[in-house]
Amino acid sequence: MSKKFAWKRGVVKPATRDYKVGDVVIFQAITIHPMDTGFQKDKHSGQIKPRFFVEELKILYNDKEVCSFDFEVSSSPNPKVKFPLKITGPGVVKAIWKDNMGATFEKSVKISPK
Amino acid sequence: MKRREFLQLSSAAALTLLLGSPQGLHAEEDDNEAIEIPFKEAYADATEGAKKVVKNAKEMKLNIPDAPENGLVVPIEVEVEYPMTPQRYIKEITVLPTKNKVNKVVTAHYTPANGKAYLYVNAKLGGTQEVVILARTNDDVIFEKRKKVKVALGGCG
């Protein structure tokens, strides 16, 4: 790796703003990550870039795990997923990403249904 | 003769060096080296322990472009018409390409709290190939659907 990667960007948010209790809302979670496959060569140094990718994404709704995603290197760079979630009341939706080097990164969003 | 001797000695030295710390070397390789996943292995892994595989399932709706411009970012959208109650729900949705080096994109684990079986993900595709989507219910029935995607510009360098 020529530049050291600093993990500092990501977002989790609902796709629409107006939702009520009981609605199923589509959420999206994106993070900025290179997702190196381990097959590519670096253009400047000519050396093979090591495998470096997001392994897992966990979604917690009010500290209870609702779904999780296991990624592999065939996912695009800056992995983006959309998933549904049933709104049961006000609270916090938290996304926790984890990469194969053991680093974690988390973002959360407040849910306030009308 | 001298050259021969030197060669023998040096090769022996290199061997001992190589064999001297095999564990340390392996640990480094595991971190950095790419691991290929053939399609058969990925498919067997995803359908392990299934009672029944329903091919070309009507319950699934795929929304994948026929010919995406760029193989690096191919949007894949799946919706499964299945109730999401605590008794009957979709447990996993798996996206598998067939001709990449690593034939697995993502496995989503869902619970009844999701309320709907839907997934959107971006995939890298290395060339024209079929994409296989598998959805597993909580009683281990698998719905399978395939779609052929034409890719002019491959996404895996």
Residues A41, A15: contact at Cβ < 8 Å?
no
Across the interface, whether the CB atoms of A51 and B101 are under 8 A apart is answered no
Looking at the domain assignment, is residue B156 inside a domain? Answer: no
Confidence of residue A6 (pLDDT cuts 50, 70, 90): confident
Chain B contact for A10 (CB, 8 A cutoff): no
pLDDT of A110 reads: 93
Tell me how far apart the alpha carbons of residues B35 and A37 are, in angstroms, rounded to a whole number.
9
Structural domain boundaries, residue B63 = 39-149
Question: Which residues have a Cβ under 8 Å from the Cβ of B2 and sit 6 or more positions away?
Answer: none
This complex has an ipTM of 0.86
pLDDT of B135 reads: 92
Angle at A111 between CA A107 and CA A114, to 5 degrees: 160
pLDDT of B121 reads: 94
Looking at the domain assignment, is residue B46 inside a domain? Answer: yes
Confidence of residue B32 (pLDDT cuts 50, 70, 90): low
Q: B28: left (phi > 0), else alpha (psi -120 to 50), else beta?
A: alpha
pLDDT of A47 reads: 85
Chain B contact for A53 (CB, 8 A cutoff): no
Q: Encoding tokens for residue A81?
A: 């997923």
Query: For residue B103, is pLDDT > 80?
Result: yes
Looking at the domain assignment, is residue A4 inside a domain? Answer: no
Looking at the domain assignment, is residue B116 inside a domain? Answer: yes
Confidence of residue B2 (pLDDT cuts 50, 70, 90): low
Confidence of residue B127 (pLDDT cuts 50, 70, 90): confident
Structural domain boundaries, residue A103 = 10-108
* Mean of pLDDT values over A56-65: 92
Contacts of A61 in chain B (CB under 8 A): 113
Amino acid at A72: E
Which CATH number covers residue A104? 2.60.40.10
Number of domains composing chain B: 2
Tell me how far apart the alpha carbons of residues B120 and B142 are, in angstroms, rounded to a whole number.
19
Residues B67, B98: contact at Cβ < 8 Å?
no
Which CATH number covers residue B89? 2.60.40.2470
Spatial CA neighbour of B113 closest among B138, B84, B92, B78: B84
